[in-house]
């Protein structure tokens, strides 16, 4: 990054107060920014900005006590995010090439402007769209279809017959299309049920590191358009996820769960098999459900209940040790009274 404040203001629709020809070479937090870097402060952090050593600041309004040049814009955090996206795009740029150490199978269809890193394996009959970046040591199984502008980080595994839409990003060491956990017992032995379905990932999905998405036993596991998964998320076989869903770290969904559109699942939340969570429901962290949940409501607790009830239950739990002691005293007193009455 190397921009004048005037150039940055033009990119984000802001107004410069001070030296518009000042050049900044990066963006950083208020605490860590140097005199060569830009930082940002929303209204509630303007007082904190007074002690920042940043060379310039993105702020929502003019502040008299700030000595640095300013760029005034409506949403400093959003403006900073746009700049960070541009910096990241430049940092991620690679040459369009196929590394000699990559392994390409037979009857593979490769799009234009690809990067395929060393050790990547693309199996027979796979289809890779334009402008994809397939990083080192990824594995793409037989007959996998990948759309345009996808980015697979190192160590990603996409097993056979799975399909990715456009602009899908998968972070390191995630596995798409691993076998669902399907077994039945015969004579006391666990016999594996073949998992012959696949995984469908629609456009603009982002999947964090170390996620596992099971293929369906039959049919499809589906992740809907615009959905974002944090690290360490597990989706069982046959799960159906709607559009624009957010799943925080360590969410776990058993087989055949259906999640509606724009649902938000907090960290370590989960659902038992064959359950449905309605559109725009929100589960706070550590929430587990054993029944269907209606949409447009907030939930918490184990088992999941409306969030206000969950908070009351948690507050009540903090009083249990004291209440237990009081109950023991009452029981002792009742026993003493019963003995007196018997006399």
Nearest to residue 208, comparing CAs of 178, 250, 177, 242?
250
DSSP state of 39: E
Three-state DSSP state, 44: helix
* Residues 209/230, Cβ–Cβ less than 8 Å: no
Distance CA 264, CA 241 (A): 11
| Contacts by 95-100, CB closer than 8 A, 24 or more apart | 99/136
Q: Which of 171, 232, 234, 237 is catalytic?
A: 237
DSSP state of 204: T
CA distances to 63, 114, 127, 153 from 13, rounded to whole Å, are 19, 33, 40, 33
Q: 222 burial class (0-12, 13-18, 19+ CB within 10 angstroms)?
A: buried
Report residue 299 as tokens. Answer: 């939930």
Residue 246: C-alpha distances to residues 27, 34, 230, 260 (Å) = 27, 34, 8, 11
The answer to whether residue 234 is catalytic is no
* 96 contacts: CB under 8 Å, gap ≥ 6: 113, 114, 115
Tell me what percent of the chain is helix, strand and coil, each rounded to the nearest 5: 20, 30, 50
109: β partners: 127
Residues acting as catalytic residues: 237
């Amino acid at each position: 990054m190397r921009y004048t404040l005037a150039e940055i203001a033009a990119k984000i629709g802001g107004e410069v107060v001070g030296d518009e020809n000042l050049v900044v070479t990066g963006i950083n937090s208020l605490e860590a920014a140097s005199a060569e870097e830009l930082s940002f402060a929303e209204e509630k952090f303007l007082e904190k900005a007074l002690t920042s050593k940043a060379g310039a600041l993105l702020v929502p309004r003019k502040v008299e006590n700030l000595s640095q040049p300013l760029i005034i814009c409506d949403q400093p955090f959003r403006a900073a995010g746009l700049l960070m996206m541009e910096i990241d795009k430049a940092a991620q740029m690679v040459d369009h090439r196929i590394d000699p150490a990559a392994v390409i199978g037979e009857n593979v269809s490769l799009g234009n402007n690809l990067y395929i890193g060393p050790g990547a394996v693309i199996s027979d009959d796979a289809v890779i769209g334009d402008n994809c970046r397939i990083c080192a040591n990824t594995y793409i199984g037989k007959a996998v279809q990948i759309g345009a502008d996808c980015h697979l980080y190192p160590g990603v595994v996409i097993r056979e017959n799975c399909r990715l839409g456009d602009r899908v990003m998968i972070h390191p060491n995630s596995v798409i299309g691993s076998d669902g956990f399907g077994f039945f017992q015969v004579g006391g032995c666990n016999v594996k049920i073949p998992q012959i379905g696949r995984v469908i990932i629609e456009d603009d999905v982002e999947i964090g590191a170390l996620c596992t998405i099971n293929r369906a036993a039959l049919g499809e596991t589906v992740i809907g358009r615009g959905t974002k998964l944090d690290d360490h998320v597990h989706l069982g076989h046959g799960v159906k996820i709607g559009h624009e869903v957010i799943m925080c770290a360590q969410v776990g969904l058993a087989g055949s769960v259906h999640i509606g559109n724009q649902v938000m699942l907090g960290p370590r939340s989960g659902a038992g098999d064959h359950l449905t969570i309605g559109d725009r429901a929100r589960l706070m962290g550590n929430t587990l459900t054993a029944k269907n949940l209606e949409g447009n409501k907030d939930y918490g607790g184990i088992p999941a209940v409306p969030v206000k009830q969950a908070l009351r239950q948690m507050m009540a739990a903090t009083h249990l040790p004291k209440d237990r002691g009081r109950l023991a005293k009452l029981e002792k007193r009742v026993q003493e009274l019963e003995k007196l009455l018997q006399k």
